Amino acid sequence: DSGVTQTPKHLITATGQRVTLRCSPRSGDLSVYWYQQSLDQGLQFLIQYYNGEERAKGNILERFSAQQFPDLHSELNLSSLELGDSALYFCASSAPFGGGSTDTQYFGPGTRLTVL
Amino acid sequence: ELKVEQNPLFLSMQEGKNYTIYCNYSTTSDRLYWYRQDPGKSLESLFVLLSNGAVKQEGRLMASLDTKARLSTLHITAAVHDLSATYFCAVGGIDKLIFGTGTRLQVFP
């Protein structure tokens, strides 16, 4: 158990809908990352937040957005869902920068999204 | 754009044998990570390699890094069934990780 929690574990929805995925980082971690894993695209970085602010952006669609709240939990919002958005969505967290940290990212159990 | 390639993509090996998974990356990077993923599960951190020549070992797995060749290897010694999983290398720094395609390892008796 990495200490990163994600809810829900599974989500089944229809095309055109909107969903919210939630992530709580490990205690003390300030960075949260979101990744998408699919058979055709592999593991892709979406976005990173550090202490409430967006820090890095990857291949995140405009229909997707995220935020990190003052208590450091994060939410990934996916809207106007398409069949191709079906994937496993992982959240990861890492310790504050510096202080000997190796910046290892610890992954949560993931949310499996199925769009029908 | 940073690209990370792994080979082989699939590896079927007999228990007790040795093998190596290779990870090549295209541009200089701060650090390299190895992760393990069991089917339908999360990614588990195995190693982080921070400098040229770094070598880390845990049980039957040993990882090394050659930053000049932009190459990392994950060596499996005397494989056992419990090592069956998909192994990913990932390259990055403090902002994101770029993952390789993964190597699916199956160990059979």
User: In a mutagenesis test of the B interface, which of A5, A7, A35, A107 is the best target, namely the one with the most B β-carbons within 10 Å?
Assistant: A107
User: In a mutagenesis test of the A interface, which of B46, B94, B99, B103 is the best target, namely the one with the most A β-carbons within 10 Å?
Assistant: B94
CA angle B92, B98, B99 (to 5 degrees): 125
In whole angstroms, give the CA distance from residue A89 to residue A75: 11
State yes or no: pLDDT of B1 exceeds 70. yes
Paired sense of beta strands B10-14 and B103-108, if any: parallel
| Cα-based distances in Å from A112 to A6, A47, A90, B80 | 10, 18, 9, 30
Percent of chain B predicted with pLDDT > 70: 99
Reported as a pLDDT band with limits 50, 70 and 90, residue B31 is confident
In this structure, the number of other CB atoms found within 10 A of the CB of residue B4 comes to 24
Reported as a pLDDT band with limits 50, 70 and 90, residue B44 is very high
> Is the CB of B50 less than 8 angstroms away from the CB of A31?
no
pLDDT, averaged in runs of 10, over chain A (116 residues): 94 98 95 94 94 92 97 97 97 78 87 97
pLDDT in tens, B73-108: 999 999 999 999 999 999 987 778 999 999 999 999
Quick one: pLDDT at residue A98? 62
In whole angstroms, give the CA distance from residue B34 to residue B23: 10
Residue B21, classified by CB atoms within 10 Å of its CB into exposed (0-12), middle (13-18) or buried (19+), is buried
In this structure, the number of other CB atoms found within 10 A of the CB of residue B65 comes to 24
**In the block, residue with structure tokens 């040993």:** B62
B97 to chain A, any CB pair closer than 8 A? The answer is yes
The average confidence (pLDDT) of chain B is 93
Q: Is the bond preceding A109 in cis, omega lying within 30 degrees of 0?
A: no
In whole angstroms, give the CA distance from residue A50 to residue A92: 12
Quick one: pLDDT at residue A100? 57
Q: Using DSSP, state whether B20 is helix, strand or coil.
A: strand
Mean pLDDT of all residues in B40-52: 92
